[in-house]
A and B are shown apart, each in its own frame.
Chain A
Amino acid sequence: MLKIKNLEAAIGGNQILRGVNLEVNPGEVHAIMGPNGGGKSTLANILAGREEYEVLSGSVEYLGKDLLDMAPEERAHEGVFLAFQYPVEIPGVSMSNFLKMALNQMREAKGLEALDAMEFFGLVREKLKLVKMDEKFLSRSLNVGFSGGEKKRNEIFQMAILEPKLSILDETDSGLDIDALKIVSDGVNMLKTKDTATIVVTHYQRLLNYIVPDFVHVLIDGRIVKSGGKELAFELEEKGYDWIKEEMSAVA
Chain B
Amino acid sequence: MDNDIKNWYLSNFKTFESTLNGSGKTAFERVRRGAITSFSELGFPTTKNEDWKYTNVSPILKHKYNLADGTPSVSPDLIKQLTFEDVDACVITQVNGQVIPGFSDEFKQDGVIVTDFQDAFKNHADLLNTYLGKYSKFKDESFIALNTAFVENGIFIFVPDNTTVEQTIHILHLSDGAFVSHPRNLFVVGKHSSVKIIETFYAQSEEEYFRNSVSEVVLAENAFIDHLKVQDESKKSYHISNVQIHQEASSNYSATCIDLGGKLVRNNINVVLNNENCETHLYGFFLGTGTQLIDNHTFVDHAMPHCFSNELYKGILDDKSTGVFNGKIIVRPDAQKTNALQSNKTLLLSDDASINAKPQLEIFADDVKCTHGATIGQLDDEALFYLRARGIDKEMANALLRHAFMSDVLENIKDESLRKQLDDLVIERFTEKE
Contacts and interface: CB of A to CB of B under 8 A. Distances in A.
Interface of A: 48-52, 71-73, 75-77, 81-82, 84, 87-88, 90-93, 97-98, 101-102, 105-106, 109, 141, 158, 162
Contacts of B403: 92-93
A92 B382 CA distance: 15
B383 A76 contact: no
Contacts, number: 77
A75 B390 CA distance: 9
8 nearest A-B residue pairs (beta carbon): A92-B404, A76-B391, A72-B388, A92-B407, A102-B390, A88-B386, A106-B391, A93-B404
B408 interface: yes
A73 B388 contact: yes
Interface string B369-403: 00000000000111101111111111011001101
Given A92-B404, A92-B407, A72 B396 contact: no
Contacts of B408: 92
B390 A49 contact: no
Contacts of A76: 388-391
Interface in B341-362: none
B194 to A, nearest CB: 29
Contact of B390 (A51, A91, A162): A162
A50 B388 CA distance: 10
B405 interface: yes
Contacts of B390: 76, 98, 102, 158, 162
Interface string B401-426: 10111111000000000000000000
A115 to B, nearest CB: 14
B405 A82 contact: no
Q: Give chain B's interface secondary structure class.
A: helix
Interface residues of B, number: 24
21 contacts: A50-B385, A51-B385, A73-B391, A76-B388, A76-B390, A88-B380, A90-B380, A90-B383, A90-B401, A92-B404, A92-B405, A92-B407, A92-B408, A93-B387, A97-B400, A98-B390, A101-B400, A102-B387, A102-B391, A102-B392, A105-B393
A70 B101 CA distance: 57
A223 B323 CA distance: 50
A109 B387 CA distance: 16
Contacts of A75: 389
B426 to A, nearest CB: 12
A249 to B, nearest CB: 37
B391 A88 contact: no
A50 B381 CA distance: 10
Contact of B401 (A51, A93, A102): A93
B224 to A, nearest CB: 28
Interface in B197-228: none
Contacts of A49: 385, 388-389
B391 A109 contact: yes
A105 B391 CA distance: 7
Among B382, B386, B390, B407: residue with most chain A CB under 10 A: B390
Interface of B: 380-383, 385-394, 396-397, 400-401, 403-408
B302 to A, nearest CB: 30
Given A91-B404, A92-B403, A162 B383 contact: no
B210 to A, nearest CB: 36
Nearest to B391: A76
Given A73-B392, A102-B392, A84 B386 contact: yes
Given A72-B388, A92-B405, A92-B407, A101 B394 contact: no
A52 B403 CA distance: 24
Given A90-B404, A105-B393, 4 more contacts: A88-B385, A90-B380, A101-B392, A102-B390
B400 A72 contact: no
A85 B428 CA distance: 33
Contact of B394 (A50, A71, A106, A162): A71
Contacts of A48: 385, 389
A71 B390 CA distance: 11
A223 to B, nearest CB: 26
A71 B408 CA distance: 31
Contacts of A77: 391
Nearest to B407: A92
A102 B383 CA distance: 14
Contacts of B406: 92
Contact of B393 (A73, A90, A93, A141): A73
Contacts of A88: 380, 382-383, 385-386
B262 to A, nearest CB: 25
A90 B388 CA distance: 13
A52 B382 CA distance: 10
A52 B381 CA distance: 10
Contacts of A102: 387, 390-392
Among B389, B394, B397, B406: residue with most chain A CB under 10 A: B389
Contacts of B389: 48-49, 72-73, 75-76, 81-82, 84
Contact of A90 (B386, B391, B394, B396): B386
A87 B386 contact: yes
Among A48, A72, A84, A106: residue with most chain B CB under 10 A: A72
A71 B386 CA distance: 13
Nearest to B402: A92
A99 to B, nearest CB: 9
Among A51, A87, A88, A105: residue with most chain B CB under 10 A: A88
B307 to A, nearest CB: 30
B243 to A, nearest CB: 27
Nearest to B386: A88
B391 A98 contact: no
A52 B388 CA distance: 14
A71 B405 CA distance: 24
A105 B392 contact: yes
B404 A71 contact: no
Contacts of B382: 88
A105 to B, nearest CB: 5
Contacts of A91: 404
A69 to B, nearest CB: 15
